Structure 1
Amino acid sequence: MSTTTKRAYNFNAGPSALPLEVLEKAQQELVNFNNTGMALMEMSHRSKDYEAVHNDAVARLKALFSIPDNYEVLFLQGGASLQFTMIPMNFLTPETTASYVLTGSWSEKALKEAKLFGQTAQAASTKENNYRNIPSLEEIKFNDTDAYVHITSNNTIYGTQWKEFPTTGEVTLVADMSSDILSRPVDVSKFGIIYAGAQKNLGPSGVTVVIIRKDLLEKANTNIPTMLKYTTHADANSLYNTPPTFGIYMLGEVLKWVENKGGLEAIEKQNEEKAKVIYDAIDNSNGFYYGHATPESRSLMNITFRVTDEELEKKFLAEAKEAGFVGLNGHRSVGGCRASTYNAVPFEACQALANFMVEFQKNNQK
């Protein structure tokens, strides 16, 4: 791949854009990794060459995300959707309740899985408002005896994002951060468990990152299948069975790219700038475009909006596709438009989309 190759303006919600530099390096190393005469995908996950890649990815994630020493970093499979099951299976006991904050489709799915294993409750919900906002911290209700409180930090379908996280005291706070992990600094110590599918900001699909406090491992249910125990993977450095080796390699390369960009503070600033140019195009359109999320809950990762007229919206999406913009259709469950501006989406792509939006409005204003 050459840097002169024309790249699409990739706004896919996931799998999503990867940094061009990472893709090019992977291309260079694909056939002969580290002078082994093999692709990394071909070598044993017990080999020293792969072990170095694996451990380096763990170390870089810990450093970048400022993960305290009393946490384990796991590389699992099954996506965030399997975590919907593993969390209650490991931590929801007959005498406790798991509380869920509903802010979109994925938190609904997480709650649905938890109900299979025990008592659940809704700590808060914005469903009546069609998930246009994140609940205020004052709205969140749970009991001190709850097994955990579960939130979804960013909602890809509805375009909302938590700006401040609840403080849950002795109750474990669990977060699905699939679509905004590593997009900004986060105080990991507020959480007992953070989990994320890699395919938004971390790398290709196939890897699931779990960050879990070590004391929780000691309390986890042991009477469950081996592969569904967090302790199985923590005790084996995520190498109990064959891990997604190439995905973990790519994740490590993405982490290096984030480091080279200046770390999470710099990445957050870039993400704010990228989102602003598109939100400005919406806000300055006098209603030609209008957002789904309320301004105070707007996501920096998924910008959801509609065009004032349904036929114009179809025309907008068709012309955008012709102009090289990929992935702007909203989720099938809600329709509309969505621009996913994850870490690897360059500012130039966001500026190009904003310019296109302004020009489309100019040519189609009634």
Structure 2
Amino acid sequence: MRKYNFSAGPSTLPVSVLEALQKDLVEYQGMGLSLIEASHRSPEYDAVHSTTLALVKELLQVPDTHEVLLLQGGATLQFGMIPLNFMGQGGSCDAVMSGSWAKKAIADSAKVGTVNKVFDGKDSSYTTLPDNVTTTAGAAYLHITSNETIEGVQWKNFPDTGDVPLIADASSDIMSRPLPIAKFGMIYAGAQKNLGPAGVTLVIIRKDLLERCPDSLPAYLNYKTHADKDSLYNTPPVFAIWAMGEVLKWIKSNGGLDGVQKLNEQKAQLVYDTIAAHGDFYRCPVDPEVRSTMNVVFRLPTEELEKQFIAAAKDKGMIGLKGHRSVGGCRASLYNAMPLEGAQALADFMTEFAKAHG
């Protein structure tokens, strides 16, 4: 029996995508070998590469003002590449400290220049987000994290930044809803939540920003290098891009981003409604206005009950519900490929557990 994987990442993938990859893994469409053995300059891989890029542009409605890149190193590499390309040594940027992943991005930026925290969620234990932010004079950009997987907060509306480019780490909610791409100077995401397996990072960057990239950077660390070479400067992560393309086809076949957004909201509402219905047993600490549709965090009355809850859920085929070690508690990640049945199974189990132990 296939388990319901509520892990924050790597996340569950559509079964149909896994089956499609399995079918063509050993021999890809009559090539006589696997795609992951073939040259990345082959026409077969070129078709996969170009189709994946085209689907990104179609689904997110990427305007002609922006370039789409497929890179390696995860969002973590972007934490360093962004300040090196756009802030420069001794420069400054603005950032919203919204939680654990924002903290990591800020720490790397601070090694290059000055980071102005225009909002710090520490005082609220990272349970809310600002309505808007005011940028700092001379800031090269404003960095935000669109969804914090650990704290369970998510931007529902993005800040207006004027002439200051808005840059967002959207690793955990990319392709889960329509996005105003034109509003961003850059938006980036590791694949392993909603796009496919780990190994490829999606970067969407405004073309005029590429002119800021200094020639003094090593080739791979310069965004312009990858834009000039159509993300083929070096051997790309072929399997991850192939899988990502299959996931994007699956999203398109399920109503595109409007369709997956509707489903994601239904799944999240099931769990949040269950928490509210048993408010004397479950507690979500996050401001209701910014509660994540991707990562629902909640606590039980005691840590001992949380351990029992996680163990009992595992026995029923629901895994990955333990909260991050830095915050404890429980967390249900409801990425695109989590079926509605999985969210319903969790909600039913939560109700049963509350009645048995409340």
TM-score, with length taken from structure 1? 0.96
1:270 aligns with 2:294: no
Candidates 78, 95, 98, aligned match of 1:100: 95
What SS is found at the alignment partner of 1:241?
A: coil
Decide whether the 8 Å contact of 1:94 with 1:119 is kept in 2: no
Q: Distance in 1 between matches of 2:229 and 2:45?
A: 15
Q: Which of residues 215, 240, 244 is equivalent to 1:247?
A: 240
Q: For 1:24, which of 1, 19, 28 is the aligned residue?
A: 19
Other structure's SS at 2:283 match: strand
**Partner residue in 2 for 1:185:** 178
Question: 2:52 touches 2:241 (CA, 8 Å); kept in 1?
Answer: yes
| Secondary structure of the structure 1 residue equivalent to 2:41 | coil
Asked if structure 2 preserves the Cα contact closer than 8 Å seen for 1:124 and 1:141, the reply is no
1:286 aligns with one of 279, 291, 301: 279
Aligned equivalents of 1:33, 1:95: Cα separation in 2: 49
1:143 partnered with 2:136 = yes
Partner of 1:83: 78
2:44 is matched with 49
> Quick one: distance in 2 between partners of 1:25 and 1:95?
49
Q: Which amino acid aligns with 1:149?
A: L
Cα offset for 1:255? 0.4
8 Å contact kept, 1:144–1:170: no
Q: Structure 1 unaligned runs (5+)? A: 1-5
Match for residue 57 of structure 2 among 47, 59, 62: 62
Q: Structure 1, residues 80-138: CA drift from partner, whole Å, max 9, x if none?
A: 0000000000011357420010100111111110111112210111111110111221x
> What secondary structure does 1:41 align onto?
coil
Q: How much is the aligned-residue C-alpha RMSD, in angstroms?
A: 0.9
1:152 paired with 2:142, answer: no
Aligned position for 1:313: 306
Distance 2:10 2:279 in 1: 33
Q: Distance in 1 between matches of 2:61 and 2:115?
A: 31
Q: Distance in 2 between matches of 1:292 and 1:243?
A: 41
Give the structure-2-normalised TM-score: 0.98
| Correspondence for 2:29 among 11, 19, 34 | 34
User: 2:103 matched to 1:114?
Assistant: no
Alignment length (residue pairs): 358
SS of equivalent to 1:195: strand
State the Cα deviation string for residues 269-327 of structure 1 (Å, max 9, x = none): 00000001111110100320001211111000000001112221111111111111110
Q: Which SS does the other structure have where 2:36 is aligned?
A: helix
- Given candidates 244, 249, 252, the residue that maps to 1:259 is 252
Contact 1:132 1:293 in 2 (8 A): yes
- Is 1:128 aligned with 2:91? no
Superposition pairs of residues 310-349 of structure 1, within 5 angstroms:
310-349=303-342
Q: Which moved more, 1:317-326 or 1:338-347?
A: 317-326
Give 1:144 shift: 4.4
Is residue 144–residue 171 contact of structure 1 (8 Å, CA) maintained in 2?
Answer: no
State the SS of the aligned residue for 2:187.
Answer: strand
Q: CA-to-partner distance for each residue in 1:314-352, whole Å, 9 max, x for gaps? A: 111111111111100000111100000000000000000
* Cα distance between partner residues in 2 of 1:292 and 1:16: 24
Per-residue deviation, 1:252 = 0.4
- Per-residue deviation at 1:265? 0.7
Q: How far did 1:223 drift?
A: 0.9
Secondary structure at the aligned position of 1:33 is classed as coil
Match of 1:3 in 2: none
> Does 25-34 or 193-202 show the bigger shift?
25-34
Which one of 8, 12, 15 corresponds to residue 13 of structure 1? 8
- What is the aligned-residue identity percentage? 54
- Whole-Å Cα distance in 2 between the matches of residues 23 and 287 of structure 1? 40
1:169 deviates by: 1.1
* SS at structure 1 position matched to 2:263: helix
The structural deviation recorded for 1:175 is 0.2
Conservation of the 8 A alpha-carbon contact between 2:134 and 2:161: no
Task: Find out whether 1:296 has 2:292 as its counterpart.
Answer: no
C-alpha distance in 2, partners of 1:290/1:325? 20
1:350 aligns with 2:343: yes
